[in-house]
């Protein structure tokens, strides 16, 4: 078992200590992130963009995710490992079960699925079979072609109401954690209050129970040169990557990150 478990994350929510999550795709960075105090290593399908150079996460396969999850597991020193099920890898219930098994067997402690209330059944069945699930709401990059781009979600009253209802339905179905991406800060605060499970934000303001960033973004590395508003470069002024990640963890824990300028309004 890792030092950080689901129980740890629930206690952190209850105590008000913020959870520091960071993406990670290999053993060396896993070790460095753990030594810097990161609680949760997210093997994100963002690897399709930052490692593989694609312009979206859609080309990433289950084999890619299993490979990088296994790499992260080898360098992990006690963090909880969360791994993304990639595009169309949970389109059917059978795929959700089989592909989650592949990631758990590669070393994940929890899997992440993007989507809303339609995920209730896969989440229920995975939880019943011993697989904790993090549900990803708001901007769901695997649906970029439906969303019409990487845009803030939940700005209209109807979509905000729907997101609140989806969050409650997914918690009810057995989700162990929620991740909100690019959601107005006020809405993310309401959802974080309304559910008992930990809520992690990225571009979702400071009132969620924790934060996540893509490691390359927070180290100031960008292939496209476009830096999202919610990103802060923690490498600036630091002499090592470990110091930059420690500064990120400290800023999440002391709540100096994210600042108001990193969030979105309705």
The residues that touch ligand KIV, with contacts defined as CB under 6 A, are 23, 42, 44-46, 84, 179, 181, 202, 212, 214
Would you say 106 or 179 has its CB closer to ligand KIV?
Answer: 179
Of 42 and 187, the one with the shorter C-beta distance to ligand KIV is 42
Residue 51 CB neighbours (<10 A): 14
φ/ψ (deg, to 5) at 223: -75, -40
Helices H / strands E in the chain, number of each: 11, 8
Q: How far is the CB of 169 from ligand KIV (least distance, A)?
A: 20
Residues annotated as catalytic are 181
Give the shortest CB-71-to-ligand KIV separation in angstroms: 15
Chain centre distance of CA 20: 10
Q: What distances in angstroms separate CA 94 from CA 16, 64, 233, one per listed residue? A: 37, 19, 40
Q: Please, what is the minimum distance in Å from the beta carbon of residue 154 to ligand KIV?
A: 16
User: Among residues 23 and 246, whose Cβ is nearest to ligand KIV?
Assistant: 23
Task: Count how many Cα atoms sit within 13 Å of the Cα of residue 170 in the half-sphere of its side chain.
Answer: 34
131 to 16, 53, 84, 220: CA distances (angstroms): 26, 30, 13, 34
Nearer to ligand KIV, 111 or 120 (CB): 111
What minimum distance in Å lies between the beta carbon of 36 and ligand KIV? Answer: 18
CB-based closest residue to ligand KIV: 44
């Amino acid at each position: 078992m890792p030092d950080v478990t689901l129980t740890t994350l629930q206690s952190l929510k209850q105590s008000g200590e913020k959870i520091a999550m960071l993406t990670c795709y290999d053993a060396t960075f896993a070790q460095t992130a753990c030594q810097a105090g990161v609680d949760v290593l997210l093997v994100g399908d963002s690897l399709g963009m930052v490692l593989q150079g694609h312009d979206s996460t859609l080309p990433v396969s289950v084999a890619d995710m299993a490979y990088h999850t296994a790499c992260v597991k080898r360098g992990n020193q006690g963090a909880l490992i969360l791994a993304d099920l990639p595009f169309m890898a949970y389109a059917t219930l059978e795929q959700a079960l089989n592909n989650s098994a592949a990631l758990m067997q590669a070393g994940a402690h929890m899997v992440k699925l993007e989507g809303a209330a339609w995920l209730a059944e896969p989440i229920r069945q995975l939880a019943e079979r011993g697989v904790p699930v993090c549900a990803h709401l708001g901007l769901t990059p695997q649906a970029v072609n439906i969303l019409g781009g990487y845009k803030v979600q939940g700005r209209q009253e109807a979509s905000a109401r729907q997101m609140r209802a989806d969050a409650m339905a997914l918690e009810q179905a057995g989700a162990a954690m929620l991740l909100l991406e690019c959601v107005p800060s006020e809405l993310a605060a309401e959802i974080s209050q309304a559910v008992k499970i930990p809520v992690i934000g990225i571009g979702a303001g400071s009132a969620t129970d924790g934060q996540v960033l893509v490691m390359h973004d927070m180290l100031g590395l960008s292939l496209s040169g476009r830096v999202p508003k919610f990103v802060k470069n923690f490498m600036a002024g630091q002499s090592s990557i470990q110091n930059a990640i420690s500064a990120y963890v400290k800023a999440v824990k002391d709540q100096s990150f994210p600042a108001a300028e990193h969030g979105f309004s309705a």
